[in-house]
Amino acid sequence: MHDLIIIGSGPAGLSAAVYAKRAGLDTLVLEKNPMSGGQVLNTYEVDNYLGMPGINGFDMGMQFREHADKLGVEFKECLVCSIEDAGEKKVISVDDGGRLEAKAVILATGAVHASLCVPGEERFTGKGVSYCATCDGAFYRGKRAAVVGGGDVALEDAIYLARMCEKVYLLHRRDELRGADILQRELKALPNVEILYSHVVEEIQGEDSVERLLVKNLKTEESFALEASGVFVAVGIRPVTELVAPFDICDEGGYVAAGEDCATKTQGLFAAGDVRKKPLRQIVTAVADGANAAMSAAAYVRSCL
């Protein structure tokens, strides 16, 4: 039986692994993807992590993982399917049929993109509809693309796409953007970006791939077609907390209720990073959560001796 199993190796899971290993815990990290780094891997440029201005997200993910590897953290590539609370131990089932045991578990499964839920979105996903501008932007070089959303990620996506697309539309349902001022200024200075405030996507249309969006102006109630070959959806995130649904520790938004010590009301179960209910979901807060969760888990494991 391990002292600690960490589920997920994004910034929160990797930070937890570093702190747990240094605290002397027998630690295993479970990650479903072949690469660690989580959402950071899909980030073109990270400009707000202290000491690493402008770092490429992929490089950052690799550096985080290298740090954990250097300390000898043990990793296993697998999808966690369930967590069972068996009193003094937690039993984790994984997709290769294995069952792993630990005294404590840190849930660091992060978040995934939210969907628009409009006709055509599912049908054209991978054929013009994308949730990652850094991953797919290059396919739309010289073409027209639309970004949907008004937060930091939407603004960053539009700025990134404007470097290669002929024209970028930013569609936002509100009449002002939510993203950081510095990003708003950068975006508004770009000649090939048009911001459509108070507009929503009603449908994504095309034959074999995206050709146009049916868009509605919420002020005038008028709908019209907007020509674009790519649609980048950046309308928020959804926490990945299905694994802890049986423990009844999530709020109505699906986030795990846990304080700064990352302890949930289930003994031995901790939550770190984007899964946790908190005001700011960023790399720096995920990393901080990882450290706090590992320290709380170490104290819990010691208390079980």
Burial per residue of 114-145, b for 16 or more beta-carbon CB atoms within 10 angstroms, e otherwise: eebebebbeebbebbbbbbbbebbeebeebbb
Q: Cβ of 78: how many Cβ atoms within 10 Å?
A: 18
Amino acid identity for residue 289 in this structure:
D
Rank residues 120 and 239 by Cβ distance to ligand FAD and give the closer one: 239
Pattern 218-257, ligand FAD, x by CB under 6 A: ----------------------x--x--------------
Which of 108, 161, 162, 249 contacts ligand FAD by CB under 6 A?
108
153 binds ligand FAD (CB under 6 A): yes
Least spacing, CB of residue 202 vs ligand FAD, in Å: 25
What lies within 8 Å, CB to CB, of 277 at 6+ separation is: 251, 253, 255, 256, 257, 258
Which residues between 263 and 302 bind ligand FAD (CB under 6 A)? 273-274, 281-284, 286
Please choose, from the candidates 56, 60, 83, the residue with its C-alpha nearest in 3D space to the C-alpha of residue 10. 60
- 33 lies in the binding site for ligand FAD (CB under 6 A): yes
How many alpha carbons lie under 13 Å from residue 290 in its C-beta half-sphere? 32
- Residue 262 annotated in active site: no
Q: Enter the DSSP assignment of 256.
A: B
Q: Is 95 a catalytic residue?
A: no
Q: Which of 3, 78, 132, 289 is catalytic?
A: 132
Residues at the interface with ligand FAD (CB under 6 A): 7-13, 30-33, 38-40, 42-43, 46, 48-49, 79-80, 108-111, 153, 240, 243, 273-274, 281-284, 286
Give the residue numbers marked as catalytic.
132, 135-136
